[in-house]
Amino acid sequence: MDTQFIGEHLRPGQLGHFFVITSFVASLFSFFSYFRSVNTEVVAPDSSRTWRLMGRSGFALHTAAIIGVFITLFYIITNHLFEYHYAWEHSSRSLPGKFLLSCFWEGQEGSFMLWTFWHCMLGLVVMNTAKGLETRTMTIIAFVQVCLGTMILGFYLGEDIKVGSTPFILLRNSMQGAPIFQMPNYMSFVQDGSGLNVLLQNYWMVIHPPVLFLGFACTLIPFAYCIAALWKGEYQEFVKPTIAWALFNGAVLGTGIMMGGAWAYESLNFGGYWAWDPVENASLVPWLVLIAGLHTLLVYRSTGRALTITFIFLTLAHLLIWYSTFLTRTGILGKTSVHAFTGDGKALTYHLLVVIGLLLILTIALLIRRWRSIPYIKTEEETLSREFWMFIGSVILFLASIQITITTSIPVWSPLAKWITGKEFAPPTDPMSHYNNIQVWVAIIVGILTATVMYMKFKNTEGRTLGKRLGITALIALVMAGLIGWGQRITTWQYDIMLFAACYGIVANIYYGIVVQKTKFKKLGPSTAHLGFATVLLGILLSSYNKQAISFNTTGMPFDFKKATEKENIKESRENVILFHGVPVAIGDYWATYIGDSDVAGKDRRIYYKVSFDRRDSVTHKILEHFMLYPDAFINPKGQEGMSANPSTKHYWNRDIFTFINGATDKSKSDTSTYQSHMVRNPGDTIFVNSGYMVYNGLSRDIVDKRYQPMDGDLAVKAKFTVYNLDGVVQELNPIYILRDRQYLTYVEDTIPSMGAYVRFANLQVKSKDSTAVEMLVRQTDPKDDYIVLKALLFPYINVLWLGVVIMVLGFFISIGDLLSRKKTAPKTATQR
């Protein structure tokens, strides 16, 4: 007889399983129907139309089922149904509601579902816009949906082969060996979930993953159009929609990548927005290859050249998304990336390799089959032609992608290399230097090309006019770079060249838009996107080259940050300052004072540390500027020792002051303060405390205080104090003394958070009508028992980077608008091999 478990809610899981199976079967049906429609287009047109309608119906049902899966899982998470492993592992009751969506895509299954959902939305658009290419493109889209659908099936073939992982598995089924799950009432012991990863408890992680996964999903559409063109050997109709989708893909994926950079900047404490982490690289590489393919496709549209390499680039962009998924989800990067999933063992590894293999075989087979029929032009390009340098730029982007991929994939190929050579191959110990030493030259070349090619024409360019325009813009850029380099003290020669490339890209693209395009908005897409790219390069250089720590440890007190080498530990120790409670410390141009924390109780809760920054006149010491920063940290997150810190940043138009906590006192273990008795009798009497004093203003029975709930028979009186520090009045203080039922004494304590002081009205002695003595107990935390270790960094002109991203994305969308407004044009005539 089966055990009946008390308190489980099985219906949502059963409904979720039904939607998962329905979505898989519907996608398989849609794939088969569309495939049959393609194969009967010529021999049986009526049958083809019927199969196409069936394919549409199947895909619509698939989409509805995926939405059902999405809603069901979200219901389970929001209602805290911890009998389901996914809800237990990724959420908790204390998690703020605004982060519940982040729980959805924290796990493997949820992120696969998000990816699938975006494919559904994009597929519906393609289904209604692809016209003559609908059946072929939708066959590919439906096939990829079948592959993605297997990722969340969660069943076994035989005893050992696991196909996918379902988000609707019960906790007791995922942990069958635990004795607690043999108890019918085990749910009475499962009161809360494990909780969301503290790094994901940030507003950027609510919006960044959906945008990034939309970018990942968009790579499928150019891939599908390319396969559709190769399928029947028709190379004209696919060009316009593929360009439009590649532009949209470039905008969305680029935005998603930079949103990830913004999340890292706002949430992580490595002090920056890009660290060449393998997961970051895994999203960047497909974007670079996509942009290369977009430019070669533009070459094909205008000249009839570069179609073969275009097919390779655009299909490879989607294949690289799957390879990136393999890198980040199988656990193979676990030791080299802080962002990667831990993986689902060998099952997911083999599963992804099978999918990659199928898509790769399909692509290679069609390329081989159509190799001789793919149009090409026998003559060589002119050196002073736009297509020649666009092709060169695309190849450079591709080579950059290869370098990034090879290094990122070291954990993949190093075991084989060791077996062949007997040598160990390890990821670079300093990835920033490793990548920068190569990619800075890629940025320089591409930055120069993005401006130069705008002045060239397809086929050939008149050299004198070209030289004149480039000479003018180069001279202006040289002056601009010289002034910026001098002002920002950029003295490293390769970065001086990068500065010139960025300035040249900015000046040349602005000049092109004004002088050549006559500021015709519809025509400004390419120059705007290239202007944005050049501005991004300038922002990267300005914010990174002169990034500096402005917190310096002058106490001589060493800190152990557990760095890999002693040298790194010493450097980090020098750049962190200890702030004792209420004691101002110089940080850059400011005096920083730690004035307390949010004192949030409970495990896995965020604590905000309040730090006051004052910029004072060097002579009069008058405060010229004041602001507060609130770096926060989770202490002992998920029961682990240590802290997970999030930065707090002061934004200016020309710089950011970036702060984060590297250490804080554990008050529960180190507070050694005790209450000290003080007597006051007359208004004006003073009690001195650390960093200030309290002036007694008398007694009052007029008590309106939310901390005090009066009861019948209460005799209550409050003492009135005004608290001062060196800068003047801090606050009013009103501790309350209560005599309840003429026999019980109690009190309501008041606090001075900025001074770490706790004040209690302890006793009231009435000696005569005009003589009343008041005993106050004051406990003030010793500064050495309340401190934080803070690091502060200065990022100059980082807003230039974010501005560049906005401009670049705007350029993509302007280009889309211009493309869609054009009449259909066929690519230039080319021959077949």
Between 598 and 68, name the one with better pLDDT.
Answer: 68
In 79-197, which residue ranges form alpha helices assigned H by DSSP? 85-90, 100-106, 108-129, 134-149, 171-174
Q: How confident is the model at residue 573 (pLDDT cuts 50, 70, 90)?
A: confident
**Section 553-574 average pLDDT:** 75
Percent of the chain whose pLDDT exceeds 70: 93
Which tokens hold the place of 448? Answer: 């120069």
- Residue 1 is predicted with a pLDDT of 43
Which tokens hold the place of 524? Answer: 């400004």
Between 609 and 266, name the one with better pLDDT.
Answer: 609
Cα Rg of the chain (Å, integer): 33
**Low-confidence winner among 448-457, 636-645, 753-762 (lowest mean pLDDT):** 636-645
**What whole-number distance in Å separates Cα of residue 449 and Cα of residue 442?**
11
- Residue 179 is predicted with a pLDDT of 82
- Residue 311 is predicted with a pLDDT of 97
**What whole-number distance in Å separates Cα of residue 135 and Cα of residue 48?**
9
- Residue 323 is predicted with a pLDDT of 96
Residue 114 predicted with pLDDT over 80: yes
> By the 8 A CB rule, do 538 and 804 touch?
yes
Q: How many CA atoms lie within 13 A of 745 on its CB side?
A: 6
Residue 332 predicted with pLDDT over 70: yes
Q: How many CA atoms lie within 13 A of 294 on its CB side?
A: 23
Q: What is the pLDDT of residues 35-78, one digit of tens each?
A: 999 999 888 999 999 999 999 999 999 999 999 999 999 999 99
> By the 8 A CB rule, do 78 and 100 touch?
yes
Beta strands 632-635 and 623-629, pairing class: unpaired
Q: How confident is the model at residue 19 (pLDDT cuts 50, 70, 90)?
A: very high
Q: How confident is the model at residue 686 (pLDDT cuts 50, 70, 90)?
A: very high
Residue 342 predicted with pLDDT over 60: no
Question: In a 3-state reduction of DSSP, which class is residue 570?
Answer: helix
Residue carrying the six token digits 């809603």: 71
- Residue 427 is predicted with a pLDDT of 86
**Section 718-736 average pLDDT:** 88
Residue 815 predicted with pLDDT over 90: yes
Residue 486 predicted with pLDDT over 70: yes
**What whole-number distance in Å separates Cα of residue 332 and Cα of residue 310?**
31
**Low-confidence winner among 91-100, 161-170, 263-272, 583-592 (lowest mean pLDDT):** 263-272
Backbone φ and ψ for 66, nearest 5 degrees, come out as -65, -40
**Low-confidence winner among 88-97, 341-350, 503-512 (lowest mean pLDDT):** 341-350
**Section 8-31 average pLDDT:** 95
- Residue 460 is predicted with a pLDDT of 86
Given CA atoms 380, 384, 385, 388 in this order, what sign does their dihedral have?
positive
Residue 828 predicted with pLDDT over 80: no
Q: How confident is the model at residue 603 (pLDDT cuts 50, 70, 90)?
A: very low
Q: Which of 97, 98, 78, 99 is nearest to 87 (CA)?
A: 78
3-state secondary structure 1-31: CCCCCCCCCHHHHHHHHHHHHHHHHHHHHHH
3-state secondary structure 193-252: CCCCCHHHCCCHHHHHHHHHHHHHHHCHHHHHHHHHHHHHCCCCCCHHHHHHHHHHHHHH
Residue 448 predicted with pLDDT over 50: yes
**What whole-number distance in Å separates Cα of residue 796 and Cα of residue 657?**
9
CA distances from 214 to 101, 132, 581 (A): 16, 25, 46
Could you tell me the pTM of the whole model? 0.86
Q: How confident is the model at residue 602 (pLDDT cuts 50, 70, 90)?
A: very low
Percent of the chain whose pLDDT exceeds 90: 56
Q: How confident is the model at residue 604 (pLDDT cuts 50, 70, 90)?
A: very low
**Section 524-550 average pLDDT:** 94
List, in sequence order, every beta strand (DSSP E) within 533-602: 548-549, 577-580, 585-587, 590-597
- Residue 206 is predicted with a pLDDT of 85
**Low-confidence winner among 194-198, 649-653, 694-698 (lowest mean pLDDT):** 194-198
Q: What count of residues does the chain have? A: 833
Residue 628 predicted with pLDDT over 50: yes
Question: In a 3-state reduction of DSSP, which class is residue 802?
Answer: helix
Residue 340 predicted with pLDDT over 70: no
The torsion of the CA quartet 445, 451, 454, 455, rounded to 10 degrees, works out to -100
**Section 357-374 average pLDDT:** 95
Residue 639 predicted with pLDDT over 60: no
Q: How confident is the model at residue 824 (pLDDT cuts 50, 70, 90)?
A: low
**What whole-number distance in Å separates Cα of residue 350 and Cα of residue 341?**
16
**Mean pLDDT over the full length of the chain:** 88
Residue 509 predicted with pLDDT over 90: yes
Which tokens hold the place of 638? Answer: 């998920």
Q: Which of 137-151, 718-732, 784-798 has the highest mean pLDDT?
A: 137-151
**Low-confidence winner among 160-164, 485-489, 681-685 (lowest mean pLDDT):** 160-164
